[in-house]
Amino acid sequence: IGGEEGHQQQAMLKDVEALVSTITDTPVAAASIGQVYKANIPGKGDVAVKVQRPGVRTLVERDSELLLTVAKFVESLPALPSSGTTSDATNKQTRLINTELVSTTKEFMSRIFEELDYRKEASNIAQFSSLYSRRDGTSKDVSVIVPKVYTELCTENVLVMEWIDGAKLTDVTGTASNTGEESSTVEENLALVKVAIDSTLSQLLVEGILHADPHAGNLLKVKLEDDSVTLGYLDFGIVSTIPEQVRDALICSVALQVFSRDVDAVSSLFGELRLIPQHILDDDEERAALAEALEITFENSLLYPEDAAGEDDTTAIPDLKFDKLLDSLSRLVPRFQFDLPPYFINNARALSTLEGIAKSLDPSFNVLTIMYPYALSRLLKNPSKSEVVARTLQSLIRSEDGKIDRTKIRRLLRDSALISGQSKRRVVWDVLKTKEGRILTRGIVSEEVGTYFGRNDGKRNAKSSSNKQRRKMKKKRW
């Protein structure tokens, strides 16, 4: 083949020859379906070569058939005979396990088969990089190291990408906790773990494009040329897309529970955002069971220092326990047929692991302090134009009769300052920096001014009416 295409093929063949001649004899890392080797390509430098294990696809296909057979069998089991002690909701069940096991298994296995095609992972890297890479990412919140992928050298079973030197976060945190590292290094490691949590929350709540397995083994501490450190990502087998309604549900449910402790409102919220089937919400007993289950979930995962409000009417800020939240959520998903995106629980579990690492470095760490800016931004900007988000924000600043509640606003301001660790003035500035925040503030001020003058006009009218009445009485007496 001649021309430009021929030159490209010759260059690619030279790269392949260089790769084959320099690849390490033994793998430098191993995973469940593949192994990673190191090689060098002139003009590209060191590269990581991920090679799929021989015969792994056949093995996965067999496992898939076995899992589906088990799922069908368990789904077919009838419910146990009801007793007088069981609830009416339980008596309505016709199956022993009221979970769609077959469809769940099919969904899970489809994701595994996606991971078997390394061309899909190459596409995931390109997508993730376009948003979050320090090199050319567009995200305003996340800037991390993402390996460059050489798509012309990739196949279904081989993935070739830029080699990144760094220490895994598991190694970094283990060293810090076991050898009494200098406090400056511990602080550096803690800052990096916070960046990892910050990055995951931004992916989850802002962009909706999410690295689905950000555990500490897939995250690197990378030293830059100026001796500063940053975060690097590995393993892009699964990159999830989080729908708008799920992002709205997360923000609104946390806001309603932290600031209002309103479990019933959270239950309704999941329904309005179509995360729970309508027939569950239409059943009064199931709805009550959902509210009770959510209340237990929040009691276990949001630990308040005191049950009552503070001396100055400030809500006690809870410590969010991600591990307990996930344990409870994993039980609720099949029980109430939550419609959550694939690998959502897996990703949240990784957040829990990162939170645990952060707490090992700083026992006072609270993930809510990192979640706060994203919650505030999404509530104010409401990018999805969701009526649920708009109502949630209004419920935090208005009383039940729909009027502006100054006490609620003051409490919300104080609580936001406590959660974020910032001053009240800074919280107000964060609100005013956004166009939506300024509109909201103008609306509140306008309504309050109107109410004030309305009251004064009422007083003046009443006074004027009273004066007229007295003059009439005097005239009558005269």
Give the separation between CA 464 and CA 461, rounded to whole angstroms. Answer: 5
Average pLDDT of the residues in 412-425: 75
More confident residue, 158 or 322: 158
Residue positions counted in the chain: 478
**SS3 label, residue 332:** helix
Distance CA(348)–CA(317), nearest Å, equals 21
Least confident piece of the model among 91-105, 154-168, 418-432 = 91-105
Other beta carbons within 10 Å of 170: 15
Q: Give me the pLDDT at residue 151, please.
A: 93
Cα R_g (the chain), whole angstroms:
29
Indicate the average pLDDT of the chain: 79
CA distances to 90, 101, 271 from 76, rounded to whole Å, are 17, 10, 28
pLDDT of 175 strictly over 70? no
pLDDT digits (tens, 9 = 90+) for 193-227: 888 888 888 888 888 888 877 877 888 999 988 88
Confidence of residue 1 (pLDDT cuts 50, 70, 90): low
Residue 344 predicted with pLDDT over 70: no
pLDDT of residue 52: 94
| Cβ pair 297, 267 in contact under 8 A | no
CB distance 252 to 393 below 8 Å: no
Quote the DSSP letter at residue 390.
H
What is the C-alpha separation between 311 and 85, in angstroms, rounded? Answer: 44
Tell me the sheet residues that pair with 320.
302
Q: C-alpha distances in angstroms, 305 versus 87, 355, 409, 417?
A: 34, 19, 22, 17
CA dihedral 148, 150, 154, 160 (to 10 degrees): -60
pLDDT confidence bin for 157, thresholds 50/70/90: very high
pLDDT at residue 317, as a whole number: 64
Smallest Cα–Cα separation from 149: which of 115, 120, 114, 116? 120
Tally of CA atoms within 13 A in the half-sphere of 243 that contains its CB: 11
Please give the pLDDT value at position 308. Answer: 44
- Average pLDDT (162-166) is 94
User: Which two three-digit tokens encode residue 91?
Assistant: 């008596």
pLDDT digits (tens, 9 = 90+) for 288-340: 888 888 888 888 887 776 544 444 454 556 777 766 776 777 777 777 877 66
Contacts of 321 (CB under 8 A, 6+ apart): 300, 301, 302, 303
pLDDT beyond 60 at 478: no
Mean pLDDT of the region 462-471? 60
Smallest CA-to-CA distance from 171 within 371, 29, 364, 53 is with 29
User: Rounded CA gap, 314 and 247, in Å?
Assistant: 27
Neighbour tally for 264: CB within 10 Å:
14
Q: Which of 293-297, 444-448, 455-459 is most confident?
A: 293-297
Annotate 145-163 with DSSP letters as a single string: B-PPB-GGG--SSEEEEE-
Q: How many helices (H) and strands (E) does the chain have?
A: 18, 11
Mean pLDDT, rounded, for 409-434: 77
Identity at 142, one-letter amino acid code = V
Closest Cα partner for 343 from 107, 61, 64? 107
Give the pLDDT band of residue 346 (cuts 50, 70, 90): low
Query: Would strands 34-41 and 239-241 be described as parallel, antiparallel, or unpaired?
Result: unpaired
> Is residue 151 within 8 Å of residue 122, measured between CB atoms?
yes
In the predicted model, what is the mean pLDDT of residues 146-163?
Answer: 94
Listed ranges 141-150, 233-242, 384-393; the one with the highest mean pLDDT: 141-150
